[in-house]
Chain A
Amino acid sequence: MAKPSPSPSSHATSSHARGPYDDIEIDLRNPVLAGVFAWLWPGAGHFYQRRYAKGCLFMVCVLSTFFYGLALADGKGVYVSWQENDKRWPFVAQFVCQAGVGLPVLPAVIQNRRVLVEGRDPLWSGWMAPPNPRNRDRFGKDELAQWHEKYNSAFEMATLYTMIAGLLNVLAIYDAYAGPFLMPVEEESDKPPPEDDSGNGNSGPS
């Protein structure tokens, strides 16, 4: 595996690894900072490292998965909630996985504060807002039950897609921090073994 610089502040140190296809030297710059950027916005860490092709690939893959999942249930598949019947944070993992996408889930945190803590109406037409337990229909169903009834399996798919997007970005974050998982080549094995002058095979100090 390509390893980051021992001193993250040193931008000059590069990682060097080879695989069947790859004979590359990667300048990871500041790996910790790259990892933080990669978390905040998928692909941003690679852009910071000037690995533009991989940055584009990660950004397109992760964000398209995330926003497609979000659109499947009109933005209701991502929200923060710790209500008794709907804990998505921190004990049940939905939002933990979704938070891997970084800043795109920030509206969910804002909506949580607004709806569940301050008791106000959600912003942005309820995009990423948690279900309000006070909103019940004439049959007494709470808002979460209404969402399940309205979106059916699309609600579960929206949650699944956005969770997978977050988990994929974890891989991208690690790639920004440590470089790709290449097959290392033992460079020393290409060289002939050092000649032993003593002839007894003991090259150590006597």
Chain B
Amino acid sequence: MSGLFFAVLGHNQLWYMFPLIVTISLVYGATRHEHLLPILDQSVRFGAWIIGFMLMIYCVFATISWWT
């Protein structure tokens, strides 16, 4: 499964997600706090949440594709 993941990551549009995750996390964190340190802390946690959620969806789809 990890081989498939890196093969897919190597040459397609998934790379576009990283700048988006960074900016969305920072802007979201900035709407929750006023000072830089808590903004960064919130951003890291929110970015990790986004990546975790996407990985979960990826695992679901990978399992379905392996099953069928």
Contacts and interface: CB of A to CB of B under 8 A. Distances in A.
Contacts of A62: 23, 27
A161 B31 contact: no
Interface stretch (B1-9, B13-21, B49-57, B59-67): B13-21
Contact of B28 (A22, A53, A160, A171): A171
Interface stretch (A104-112, A123-131, A174-182): A174-182
Contacts of A185: none
B24 A164 contact: yes
Interface in B19-56: 19-20, 23-24, 26-28, 30-39, 41
Contacts of A164: 20, 23-24
Size category of the binding interface on chain B: 20 to 34
A183 to B, nearest CB: 9
Chain A at the B interface: SS class? helix
A23 B30 CA distance: 15
A61 B27 contact: yes
B23 A51 contact: no
Given A65-B19, A68-B19, A57 B33 contact: no
A180 B31 contact: yes
Interface of B: 13, 16, 19-20, 23-24, 26-28, 30-39, 41
Interface of A: 19-22, 24, 26, 51, 53-54, 57-58, 61-62, 64-65, 68, 153, 157, 160-161, 164, 168, 171-172, 174-175, 179-182
Nearest 7 CB-CB pairs, A to B? Answer: A21-B38, A61-B23, A168-B27, A175-B31, A171-B31, A65-B23, A24-B34
